[in-house]
Amino acid sequence: MAIEWAGWGPQLLIAIDRDSKTPLRSQLEQQLRAAIRDGRLAAGERLPSSRALAAYLGLSRGLVQECYAQLQAEGYLTAHTGSATRVAPTTAATSPAISLRRTPKAPELIADFPVGVPDLRLAPRQDWAWAIAQVCRTAPNAAFDYGPPGGDPHLREVLAAYLRRVRAAEAYANQVLICTGVAQGLGLILRVLAEHGHDRVAFEDPGAVRTVRDAARSAGIDAVPVPVDEHGIDVDALARGDARVVVVTPAHQWPTGVVMAPSRRHALLAWARTHDGIVIEDDYDAEFRYDRDPVGALQGLAPDRVVSLGTVSKSLAPALRLGWAVVPGALADDVIAAKAIADRGTSGIDQLALATLIESGRYDRHLRRMRAVYARRREIVSSIVPGVTGLAAGFHAVAHLPAGSNETETIAAARERGVGIYGMSENRADGSPDPACLVLGFGNTSEQAIEAGLHAIADLLA
């Protein structure tokens, strides 16, 4: 589709050399031909009027009209009475290297179960557009300048109050860093901790292996796995190692879905105090809990030992790229300084829009709606897949394959039936496919697709 410019047409770099022996009209013709041939002017694109282009280049209108007429005669341009001059459709630039082999089209799936993706169709577009409009109408001029690297002061206040109310966090505005998501927050924290002398970070296994390893590599430190059981991370195994930093997902362990038991929570915080350690809490899936009241954040129990990370990627949409870190006071200034070096701060207008969404109550309203949506999908999954676990919160479940099953072969067999499923092995530190399990995400999969997909592969899961 050709670009429709709202003004006189596209800005186009044309250099007229009045000292050249080449006539001005020839210069203009040559440069317009070249722009069309190399694709800078696309087929169907509207050119500026002869009057506008003449004024822009300091040429006579008659000269530009003659140039347009010549290019039209050569087939480069088209023009009709009452319509703009446009690039002719047959002059579109083609790639110099065209592959004659066609890439086979991926078969259409009747259902796909990707993990970690919320329902993108139900992203609150109207609420977000309303919040952006409110900010653009009411924000002071200073809001459109570079903001503080740690985040907009108003959003930091709003988030701190929200986290105290909803997550029982001990959060205050000067401890809150606004970032682009959990991955960036984790990377900044590890860089600062590396500067403070930490050379190793532990992480849950299975867990967010790639995310933690990438952040650790960027910080120049080692990442070591620690096993997870039905109560959460194995604190005894953690204590046997020499890492003094650990990344955990206590509210809904990724990907097993285990909720960290109270005894483990206390043991983990005791480890942190005894070993002068830091716990980095990814407050994963805390917004979506079904079988009991939400479990409060670890940070509220030991604010001097716990960094709490959060994001709107699951609650609103990943594309917004908004998250936060609640940082112990002793680290806050250094983490904010690291953020300033990384990117000078997250979009100020989007920050104010999020603050507006939370203060208006629309954020809570959206979460209530999505809890009901995901709860219905959760029930469908549990009714079809035998022995599924990890459904206490969030929008993914763990399916335990029958003894002797091969995870890779099961995934391939499901794909042949038009169903996309994903293995637990991707989340294990050693990539082991044993025991064979699947991680079924149902956040971005409709109820109809869930039923059709799971019934199509029911014999593979039983």
**% of the chain exceeding 70 in pLDDT:** 93
Task: Give 371-376 contacts, CB < 8 A, sequence gap 24+.
Answer: 371/287, 371/288, 371/290, 373/119, 373/122, 374/119, 374/288, 374/442, 374/443, 375/290, 376/447
Percentage of the chain beyond pLDDT 90 is 80
Residue 451 tokens read as 């039923």
| Distance in angstroms (rounded) separating the CA atoms of residues 343 and 302 | 30
Specify the DSSP element, H or E, that contains 203.
strand 200-205
User: Which string of DSSP letters, residue by residue, matches 321-383?
Assistant: --EEEE--HHHHHHHHHHHHHHHS-S-HHHHHHHHHHHHHTHHHHHHHHHHHHHHHHHHHHHH
Summarised one tens digit per residue, pLDDT across range 152-186 is 999 999 999 999 999 999 999 999 999 999 999 99
Least confident stretch, 44-48, 251-255, 319-323: 44-48
Cis peptide before 104 (omega within 30 of 0): no
Say whether 206 sits in a helix, a strand or coil: coil
Who wins on pLDDT, 373 or 11?
373
Nearest to 236 by CA among 275, 189, 179: 275
User: For residue 331, what are its two tokens?
Assistant: 């680290």
- Which tens digits make up the pLDDT trace of 424-436? 999 999 999 999 9
More confident residue, 287 or 349: 349
Given phi > 0 = left and psi -120 to 50 = alpha, else beta, which region is 168? left
pLDDT bracket for residue 284 (50, 70, 90): confident
Burial 342-370 (b: 16+ CB within 10 A, else e): eeebbbbbbbbbbbbbbeeebbeebbeeb
Give the integer Cα–Cα distance in Å for 253 and 265. 13
Average pLDDT over residues 335-339: 97
**Per-residue pLDDT tens over the stretch 48-98:** 888 888 888 889 999 999 999 999 999 999 988 777 889 998 755 555 555
* Domains, the chain, with CATH or none: 1-98 (1.10.10.10), 111-116+364-461 (3.90.1150.10), 123-360 (3.40.640.10)
- The H-or-E segment that residue 165 falls in is helix 153-167
Contact yes or no for 295/259 (Cβ under 8 A):
yes
Question: Which residues make Cβ contacts (< 8 Å) with residue 252, sequence separation at least 6?
Answer: 258, 259, 284, 285, 286, 289, 390, 392, 393, 394
Strands 419-420 and 111-112 come out as: parallel
Question: How large is the average pLDDT for residues 376-403?
Answer: 95
pTM: 0.85
Q: Which of 70, 64, 34 is nearest to 51 (CA)?
A: 64
- Given this model, what pLDDT does residue 3 score? 42
Helical spans, DSSP H, in 168-253:
182-195, 209-219, 235-240
pLDDT value of position 11:
64
What's the CA gap between 320 and 124, in Å, rounded?
A: 11
What digits encode the pLDDT tens for the residues 214-235? 999 999 999 999 999 999 999 9
Residue 419: C-alpha distances to residues 386, 423, 440, 460 (Å): 18, 13, 11, 12
- Which residues, 6+ apart, have CB-to-CB distance to 98 below 8 Å? none
